[in-house]
Amino acid sequence: MSETFEFAVPSDDAGVRVDVFLARRMPDSSRSQVQRLIRSGMVTRGSRVVSKAGEGVEAGERISVRVERQELRAAPEALPLEIVYEDPDLVVVNKPAGMVVHVGAGVRSGTLVNALLHHIGKLSTAGGELRPGIVHRLDRMTSGLVIVAKNDFAHRSLAAQFKGREVHKTYLLLVHGRVAKDSGEISKPVGRDPIRRTRMKAGGLAPREALTVYRVERRFPHYTLLTAEPRTGRTHQLRVHFSSLGHPIVGDTLYGAPGKLVLGRREEKTLARNFLHASAVEFRHPRNNQPMRAEAKLPSELEGILDQLTSEDR
């Protein structure tokens, strides 16, 4: 099965390499993947096949890309799964860092959906074959609570609550530096980074409003422990917002966090994950409209970092 994408070149992009131009507009494809498409003859400029990735594009022309898509389908896998709450309509799970939520481009197995299909079986179909039951997501390197719908009725109700901003998610995070205010709001629109396609940024391309409310829980000499609630659900919102303040999340090198951790007088390599954990979620049950709250403790690897910071701070 093939799919064709066509892009018009704006005047601002005149002269940009064709592989760079396409990689910026195809968030599911890396620059190297675009270059492979060019070598395979899948990219055209008007009626001419592009032969070199370094060709400069011209304002006003149209670039077409044909992509061969393989049929993907999520399959059950016997993976560990921590269930926090379950009833006939929904399940709340505690996703570990390192696990992708659902099957997609470049990810065929090992996801939360694969584990859910093994442990739960039937899930809602409203999200499609690759995302059964999935109403919302967490980043791969973020741990914490995910609400999953078992049927389409629950899925529609929960999706409407997310859209209406009625679901409240609380995160625990450790950031670099000492945050000055005890509490505050970050109101900065978030859009895609025009240079690095895997990133979002404050502003960026097609920015959308984003609001985060936070409170300081504890300050250390080089770090601050916070709770934060994203009032909007933008991609990488907390990561972008705190990085924009000069306080990137520990472990989040994509958004400017250092590669080293300072623990007293010594330095260690930073975490292999982000110090970001979805610790609580509040919503209304889709069947009876009753308020629900689920909580998940901080994972041991993050708790261990806090223990070290606490002992060094004495």
Q: Which two tokens stand for residue 9?
A: 């070149």
Place of tokens 């011209």: 58
Chain mean position to CA 257:
17
User: Is 139 a residue of the active site?
Assistant: yes
Find residue 29's DSSP bridge partners.
none
* Rounded to 5°, angle at Cα 104 from 98 and 110: 40
CB contact set of 273 (below 8 Å; sequence gap of 6+): 97, 98, 141, 142, 143, 251, 301
DSSP strands (E only) in the chain: 2-8, 43-45, 48-49, 62-68, 83-86, 90-95, 143-149, 168-176, 183-187, 190-192, 200-202, 205-208, 211-219, 223-230, 260-263, 266-269, 276-284, 291-295
- Residue tagged active-site, from 13, 19, 139, 193: 139
Phi, psi at residue 12, to the nearest 5°? -65, -20
* Signed CA dihedral, 254, 208, 100, 141: sign only: positive
* Exposure on the CB side of residue 23, measured as CA atoms within 13 A: 22
Q: Residue 147 has what DSSP assignment?
A: E
What positions carry a catalytic annotation? Answer: 139
